[in-house]
Chains A and B, each alone.
Chain A
Amino acid sequence: MLTALTVWVLGAEYSLCFNAENKFIVQMAELQDRWARKMESEHGHKVIIMGGSNVMFSIICEQLVTHYDLPAVNMGLNAGIGAQVIAERAVAQAHAGDTLVLAFEPGLLTGSLRPPAFGIQFSYAMHRPDWAVAPTLHGTRVPIPSALLALRPGASHIFTLLAKLIAHKPLYSYQVANASPSGWNRTAIRRPLPGFPAQRLILSDDARQFLRSFRDWSDQHQVRVVYSLPWHWTPPDAVKDFQRKNAEFLLQISEYLPVLRDPLIGADSRIEDFSDLVWHLDEEGSVLRTEELGRELTNWQLWQPHELRRIVEDLSAASPASAESGSPGS
């Protein structure tokens, strides 16, 4: 028992204080929080853009402030934290009059919303275990014993750490030093971008309940909410198919939240816009994405469900071979 307790304490201490990935995310979150306080004090309200690393590596809030006078706050973290913890953190910072832009990677809304271990570790590192164990929105209340057990590093992390140490590789790829004061980050790393995901995007039941509770919460707290689909690297020959799948996905989202009218429908075929991952834009790509987001938010340009439905139909007709039967929400 004593051994178990000692190893657990050491493991938890490592996860919360020494794990390079967690340290990076916590420092980025603190940076973002400082910017949020600045926006709040200077403008009296703010536009919170939340999501996984696609937000951190794509949205330049300084540009939104100077070009569009939008007091934007980048609350992009890491999709590995899970939708629940990302949303809980943003909701905790939002007040009446604010705007919340949900820029989740679709994968965050197609499965269970139960916070993964990394999300639980982040909650504890931020001294907000309630994000995992007692969420404000609809979510999974992770029992406290399970949450405490999730503070252990786990085999996957330890083996990866060992491999990095043996190969003398840096313990984490990204650095806080590369971030702008608002929390937009960039990386010099370039990797070959992997193959294209082919599966349809169907909202999970968990995500539907979450979106419903998110909408109800925003109504009660007079916070404006909207969904913005992140840009994803898409080979030119797959753009139509990907846009159709994204339009299907947005159609499902539109049952709960308004959806920003992104003309690319999430499919960016310019590989030079991306850095190391399919969701991570480089500087040029970030400027373009931020500009587009600023325009959509300022003019409150939204997709209407019938427009999305028509896009799905048109694109299905254009590429019937790859279109599966039926479209969700239609």
Chain B
Amino acid sequence: MNFAEIRFWELLIGALVLILAVRFLVWRLHQASLEWFDKLALLSLGLFLLMCVSWVTFIIYLVVAVGTYVGLAWVLRHKQMVRGRYLFVLLTLQLLPLFYYKYANFVTNQVLGLGIYSLRGLLIPVGISFYTFQKVAFVIDTLHLRKPMPRFLDYMNFAGFFPQIVAGPIERRENLLPQMERFRFHWSKDCINEGAGWVALGLFFKCCLADNLVTYFDASSTHNAYLIWMANLLFGLRIYYDFAGYSLIALGVARCLGIRLTLNFASPYVSTSSTEFWRRWHITLSQWFRDYLYIPLGGGRTRCWALTIAIVFIVSGFWHGAGWNFVLWGALHGTFLIGNRLLGPKLKLPGPAAWFLTITGSFLAWLAFYELRTSMLAAKLQALFTPAAYSWAALHEAFARWPAADGFGLSCLLAIIVAVLMLEWLSVRWQSQPYSLLLRPPVLVGLVGLTILLAPETNNGFIYFAF
């Protein structure tokens, strides 16, 4: 379900036309069935689009989704006293496919050194980390908040709502399920206008900014600090505009259908502290870890709060990928957060300095995200902390890396990004509404124009599909 591919939109529009044609017949013949038809059509649409991604993805999703529903119904049949025990069994079963496809190779071969080579070629089903976490949250919320079991059709639409199934946002029961229970194919002009704006902004982020940044990303240098920082900067910008772009398109498509999803990004690069950064970056995942790991471990009110933060961020890094580099990425962010909590109130840095420190930290951490080879990662980290790697000769080499034409192209692209970041900053600081200035109609018209003119011919898959 790659929103940047024309094929997705062809399939979506084709399927919607078919649904509306059949809906018209149902409306003429048996109006009482319309509610049931709408929900079934939405489910069919989601399953059809997922099937178009791949059969394996579709089947694994179906197993996890139906298994969760059946398992939860089974747990609910037992008395309150023993539910905890069965909940543990159900959560283990829910997490099993995720563990097998994503972590089995890493744990058995890299950690335990068992040499089970058949696990090496496993492909991670698209979206498994996202929908597994959504279903885990659903089970816990249903049991913990003593909510009733939803009807199967509503649950399946909640679990498999197509705009968010493969890369989030990771929605919670209280937000999405009631909307699914009320779902009808209503075409409201306001919803479509609002949704189209988000889709246009998301496509601009993905196709114009993220996909063009790929052209200039070069992670080959291990000794030149300037080139490593440049790679970190380009990757950090790319992953943000790539993932935020996806999330905004998902938000927009859902809005067109009358569903309001959670805003998953809120201009994280305007943050002036690590804490703020994690309130703005991948918001639904941060909230998931806060509610289902950080708080159950004691939260910030215990004496071991630093350890709790470290655990949460290391697990968060591990969620992103099975590799030591992801663990380091999580650990780095955990350290920044602990440092922020310990030193932040004492230092009281002025806004620009705090922003610079926060952004430098997050761009440093991106190195551990994209550099999967441990030896290269170590060499690059060493270079970044070696003063000699910042020599004039290194600076000269860094400038010579790009021929004049490429350098000019990169400068133009970075100028556009700086302008966009400025608008993001103004939206947050002046209007407290992320992206509000970018969503103004005249600005949107400009962004649509830039997308059409500047988007490269071939798009790259969304980075977060790999997670």
Binding site for B on A (CB under 8 A): 3-4, 7-8, 11, 116-117, 143, 145-146, 149-150, 152-156, 158-160, 162-163
B108-125 vs A, CB cutoff 8 Å, 1 = contact: the mask equals 000000000000000000
Q: Are A162 and B412 in contact (CB under 8 A)?
A: yes
Q: Are A149 and B457 in contact (CB under 8 A)?
A: yes
Q: Are B408 and A162 in contact (CB under 8 A)?
A: yes
**Who on chain B is nearest to A6 by CB?**
B449
Q: How far is the CB of B407 from chain A (nearest CB, A)?
A: 9
Q: How far is the CB of B137 from chain A (nearest CB, A)?
A: 37
> Which of A4, A154, A160 is in CB contact (< 8 Å) with B457?
A154
Give complex CA distance A7, B455 in Å.
12
The residues of A that contact B339 with a CB separation of less than 8 Å are none
The number of chain B residues touching the other chain, given as a range, is 20 to 34
A-B contact pairs, 10 of them (CB 8 A): A3-B448, A4-B452, A7-B449, A7-B452, A143-B6, A150-B457, A154-B453, A155-B456, A156-B215, A156-B456
Q: Are B413 and A4 in contact (CB under 8 A)?
A: no
Q: Are B448 and A7 in contact (CB under 8 A)?
A: yes
The residues of A that contact B448 with a CB separation of less than 8 Å are 3-4, 7
> Which of A3, A145, A146, A155 is in CB contact (< 8 Å) with B455?
A155
Q: How far is the CB of B29 from chain A (nearest CB, A)?
A: 33
The residues of A that contact B208 with a CB separation of less than 8 Å are 155
Q: How far is the CB of B427 from chain A (nearest CB, A)?
A: 21
- The secondary-structure label for the interface of chain A is helix
Counting chain B CB atoms within 10 Å of each CB, the highest count among A149, A153, A162, A163 belongs to A163
- The secondary-structure label for the interface of chain B is helix
Give complex CA distance A61, B215 in Å.
39
Q: Are B453 and A153 in contact (CB under 8 A)?
A: yes
The residues of A that contact B409 with a CB separation of less than 8 Å are 155-156, 159-160, 163
Give complex CA distance A63, B289 in Å.
75
The residues of A that contact B455 with a CB separation of less than 8 Å are 152, 154-155
Q: Are B453 and A7 in contact (CB under 8 A)?
A: yes
**Who on chain B is nearest to A159 by CB?**
B409
User: 6 closest A-B pairs (Cβ-Cβ)?
Assistant: A159-B409, A155-B454, A117-B457, A7-B452, A163-B408, A7-B449
Give complex CA distance A160, B410 in Å.
10
B76 at the A interface (CB under 8 A): no
Q: Are A8 and B452 in contact (CB under 8 A)?
A: yes
Give complex CA distance A149, B6 in Å.
9
Give complex CA distance A41, B111 in Å.
74
Give complex CA distance A315, B412 in Å.
47
The residues of A that contact B453 with a CB separation of less than 8 Å are 7, 11, 152-155, 158
B400 at the A interface (CB under 8 A): no
The residues of A that contact B7 with a CB separation of less than 8 Å are 143
B347 at the A interface (CB under 8 A): no
Q: Are B449 and A154 in contact (CB under 8 A)?
A: no
Q: Are B215 and A152 in contact (CB under 8 A)?
A: no
**Who on chain B is nearest to A146 by CB?**
B6
B234-277 vs A, CB cutoff 8 Å, 1 = contact: the mask equals 00000000000000000000000000000000000000000000
Give complex CA distance A273, B165 in Å.
59
The residues of B that contact A4 with a CB separation of less than 8 Å are 448-449, 451-452
CB under 8 Å from chain A, chain B span 387-410: 404-405, 408-409
Given contacts A8-B452, A149-B457, A154-B454, contact A163 B405 (CB under 8 A): yes
Q: How far is the CB of B39 from chain A (nearest CB, A)?
A: 29
Give complex CA distance A160, B449 in Å.
18
The residues of B that contact A116 with a CB separation of less than 8 Å are 457
Q: Are A155 and B212 in contact (CB under 8 A)?
A: yes
- Known interface pairs A4-B448, A146-B6, A155-B215; 12 further A-B residue pairs with C-beta atoms within 8 A, sorted by A's residue number: A3-B445, A4-B451, A149-B6, A152-B453, A152-B455, A155-B212, A156-B456, A158-B453, A158-B454, A159-B412, A160-B408, A160-B409
**Who on chain A is nearest to B412 by CB?**
A159
The residues of A that contact B412 with a CB separation of less than 8 Å are 155, 159, 162
The residues of A that contact B449 with a CB separation of less than 8 Å are 3-4, 7
B41-66 vs A, CB cutoff 8 Å, 1 = contact: the mask equals 00000000000000000000000000
